[in-house]
Amino acid sequence: MKPWMLMVLSIVVFWQTGQAASFHSKGHSPERSAQSRVTRISMHNVLFRVTDNVVLQIDSLDGFLEPSRRNGMISLDDKNSFSMEMQNATVSISSRDLAALANGFILPRAKTPLKNLGLTFNPNQSISVKGDIHKVVDVPFSADATMHVTPDGNMRMRLSDMTIAGVIHQNVLDLLGLKVSKVAQPKRKKVFQIVGNDIIFPIDQMFPPPRVTGHLQAVNISDDQLHLVFDQSRGSVPAEESGQGSHTVPPVASGESIYFRAGTMKFGQLTMSPVDLELVPPKRGAHKFFEFSVDHYYEQLVAGYSKSLPSKGLVVYMADERDLERFSQANQKALQGGDGRDTHDGVQSDAK
């Protein structure tokens, strides 16, 4: 190769390298762009209403929200627009609500012969399970179960001492080589799958939108509650990219709160970027837990009022889901009579 050709090639390589370095130094790397879309979320003493008849009790949670669609935005008005990863979280669900979640969402979605599941949590950490297996007709079954954590952080329900149709016991089933996996395996194994007599529930398939993810660390039962402990996910977003740290301390000290920080989020006709939004009950201590519903959040918003902060953040004193009707009626009276508050975009704001 001639000297002048080597010189040209060297210049081209040097120029491309410099351009790539400049591009990344300005914060345009794919990783950084994706991470900047993340919104941190923290919850304390919240009843998170997943559906109208299923509630998760969240004692504490630090995690993040992320848009479900590429180039999309987190919108509280579209629960399919984002996913929520639980990190360093302690969450509980009652036996009744877990059965409602299974019968209303998990089992139908998985297309399994299992139906009409009933659950009773026992003091010895076991679960009494009843239900039907649909094989031409509904065949009743009962069993004992225990909950475990899989190595990859999902939930495993181990069935034992099963009786089918009230007469065929587990011993007979074992002799015949019949496992639950042979008679009740779902068509959609992504939702859950059965291995032998173990039912494995992936966390990211257990709840209706918004999609919930997380790495389960421990499960235990007490006071008719299944307690789930989530640790920091191995795929977590670095603190410097997601607003984690001292800045996630909510601006209003409250025993019950939801706090969103960083990223971009839309609610109603408002868009915050970066997000700095705290939701708290208007009367602290009225309930031990603040009940929040994704489906009815805007009604809760309208029934409350907001306060702008010097930091350009926003605190919304939001009506508890259980008090929604009472707060709505009081608000209507206040608006008709005029109480010194203005409303913007359906959210009352302090006029002081």
DSSP tag of 159: E
Of the two residues 236 and 63, the one the predictor is more confident about is 63
Does 142 score more than 70 pLDDT? yes
The residue behind tokens 């210049």 is 11
Can you say whether residue 299 is alpha, beta or left, with left for phi > 0 and alpha for psi between -120 and 50 degrees? alpha
pTM, two decimals, is 0.79
Weakest-pLDDT range from 132-141, 150-159, 177-186, 299-308: 177-186
Residue 16 and residue 218 in contact, taking contact as beta carbons nearer than 8 Å: no
Residue 244 has pLDDT above 70, yes or no: no
Tell me if the bond preceding 274 is cis, omega within 30° of 0.
Answer: yes
Tokens representing residue 57 in the block: 């009790």
Q: State the pLDDT at residue 237.
A: 54
Mean pLDDT of 13-28: 39
pLDDT band at 47 (very low <50, low <70, confident <90, very high): very high
- pLDDT of residue 116 exceeding 70: yes
The reported pLDDT for the residue numbered 8 is 37
Residue 95 has pLDDT above 90, yes or no: yes
Per-residue pLDDT at 156? 97
DSSP tally for the chain: helices H, then strands E: 9, 22
First to last CA, the chain: 78
Residue 2, both tokens: 């001639």
Q: Would you state the pLDDT for residue 330?
A: 61
Cα–Cα distance, 171 to 163 (Å, whole number): 9
Q: What mean pLDDT, rounded, does the chain reach?
A: 81
Return the exposure string of 56-67: e unless at least 16 CB atoms fall within 10 Å of the residue's CB, then b. Answer: bbbeebbbbbbb
Nearest to 69 by CA among 85, 83, 81, 78: 81
Average the pLDDT over each of 67-81, 99-113, 295-309, 316-330 and give the range with the smallest value: 316-330
Provide the CB-side half-sphere exposure for 165 (13 A, CA). Answer: 9
Q: Which of 186, 206, 208 is nearest to 195 (CA)?
A: 186
Q: In terms of C-beta distances under 8 Å and separation of at least 24 residues, what long-range contacts does 110-113 make, across chains too? A: 110/186, 110/187, 110/188, 110/189, 110/191, 110/192, 111/186, 111/187, 111/188, 112/184, 112/185, 112/186, 112/187, 112/192, 113/183, 113/184
**Banded pLDDT at 177 (limits 50, 70, 90):** low
Question: Is residue 319 within 8 Å of 83, Cβ to Cβ?
Answer: no
